[in-house]
């Protein structure tokens, strides 16, 4: 018998009572099959600049647009912590694996969903450990979806933000990630007005694209050490944007409310890219933002700028972390690309998201 059989069945019973049948099914399958947890993959060498690799990789085809659960439990914490379960989803053209954090409050009421996009060489387990988003989501009562980029689509597991075929609504990876988001929404009690997307580096650039392409699905975006939507169309323009900053395609755009974190000592993605992300967001209308300088208990200083609408509503926040490199601010050393001395980007993104529910119907 699987040594965790009894615990997994107890988790499944709790999830069924809470109305979370998808997570309960994964736990039952794990108990019956005795499958090992999905392990983190050791980091591989980064590509040019650390966030792009130019390859002609073929997508993994799928015949069904429906997601199928994997045969293992993933990492299943104690019942009070919720569950971290794996799955797989496709949009009829390609498919990706993912991991989903299911909070202990699941099934009690409609809850927010945060979509977290990892950077190059990372995977869902690494990104969850480094950002500690699951712990923050448990306290707030949020689902967290971690899509996993495949090595077949990009050898370094970078989201292909820099390719023109992956930058528009209804095409490439944006369409796949939107389909995965809807897949989770259909299977869990998610509040459609509180669905958000965030990412680091290549994941941050893809989060900006999703906020631009699907404002009817994502209420707000968080971009950490990333680039603006449409700032590059190929590898040469991507490298140029990473070196000196790249403006969004078409100039200033109207996107969703956005919170940006960027280290001003980032040698991988030039800090000016943070300004371009803000200019392309819903908060880019404010040319004279209110600025506040602070310092963390660990000694790292940062400047926070609030961009407001003409009516005074904060629509964008730009956090410049002084002296920090290409790393998630306030993250844990248990994950890669983190700066534990910085302000807590996870807590601040979650706070910003919950302050910005989406208005209007979901498409």
Domains in the chain, CATH or no CATH each = 59-354 (3.40.50.1820)
Higher pLDDT, 298 or 251: 298
Where does residue 128 rank: exposed (0-12), middle (13-18), buried (19+ CB within 10 A)?
buried
- 80 near 92, Cβ under 8 Å? no
Higher pLDDT, 104 or 252: 104
Instruction: Give the mean pLDDT of 270-284.
Output: 89
Whether the per-residue pLDDT at 44 is higher than 70: the answer is: no
Instruction: Give the mean pLDDT of 79-102.
Output: 89
| pLDDT tens for each residue of 178-222 | 999 999 999 999 999 999 999 999 999 999 999 999 999 999 999
Whether the per-residue pLDDT at 14 is higher than 70: the answer is: no
**Angle at CA of residue 161, ends 50 and 152, nearest 5°:** 75
- 227 near 246, Cβ under 8 Å? yes
Calpha distance 280→273 (Å, rounded): 11
| pLDDT tens for each residue of 221-267 | 999 999 999 999 999 999 999 998 877 765 445 579 999 999 999 99
pTM assigned to the model: 0.81
> Helix, strand or coil for residue 80?
helix
Alpha carbon dihedral 318, 244, 166, 56, in 10-degree steps, equals: -150
Only one residue has tokens 């040594």, namely: 3
**Angle at CA of residue 212, ends 215 and 165, nearest 5°:** 125
């Amino acid at each position: 018998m699987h040594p965790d059989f009894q615990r997994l069945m107890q988790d499944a019973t709790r999830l069924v009572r809470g109305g979370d049948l998808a997570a309960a099914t994964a736990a039952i399958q794990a108990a019956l099959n005795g499958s090992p947890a999905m392990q983190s993959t050791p980091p591989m060498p980064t590509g040019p600049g650390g966030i792009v690799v130019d390859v002609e990789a073929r997508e993994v085809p799928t015949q069904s647009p429906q997601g199928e659960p994997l045969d293992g439990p993933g990492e299943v914490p104690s019942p009070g912590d919720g569950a971290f379960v794996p799955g797989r989803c496709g949009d009829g053209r390609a498919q990706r694996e993912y991991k989903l954090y299911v909070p202990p409050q699941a099934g009690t009421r409609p809850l927010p969903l945060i979509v977290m996009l990892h950077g190059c060489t990372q995977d869902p387990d690494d990104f969850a450990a480094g950002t500690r988003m699951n712990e923050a989501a448990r306290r707030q009562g949020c689902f967290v979806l971690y899509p996993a980029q495949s090595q077949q689509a990009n050898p370094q597991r970078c989201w292909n933000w820099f390719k023109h075929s992956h930058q528009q609504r209804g095409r490439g990876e944006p369409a796949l990630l939107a389909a995965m988001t809807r897949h989770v929404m259909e299977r869990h009690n998610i509040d459609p007005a509180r669905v958000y997307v965030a990412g680091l580096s290549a994941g941050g650039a893809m989060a900006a694209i999703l906020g631009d392409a699907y404002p009817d699905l994502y209420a707000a975006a968080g971009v950490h050490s990333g680039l603006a939507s449409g700032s590059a169309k190929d590898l040469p323009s991507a490298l140029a944007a990473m070196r000196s900053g790249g403006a969004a395609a078409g100039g200033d755009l109207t996107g969703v409310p956005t919170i940006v974190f960027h280290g001003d000592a980032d040698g991988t993605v030039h800090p000016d890219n943070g300004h371009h992300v803000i200019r392309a967001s819903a908060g880019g209308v404010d040319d004279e933002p209110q600025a506040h300088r602070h310092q963390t208990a660990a000694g790292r200083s940062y400047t926070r700028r609030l961009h407001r609408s003409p009516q005074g509503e904060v629509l964008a926040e730009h956090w410049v972390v002084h002296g920090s490199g290409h790393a998630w601010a306030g993250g844990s050393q248990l994950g890669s690309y983190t700066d534990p001395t910085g302000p807590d980007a996870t807590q601040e993104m979650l706070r910003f998201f919950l302050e910005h529910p989406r208005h209007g119907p979901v498409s």
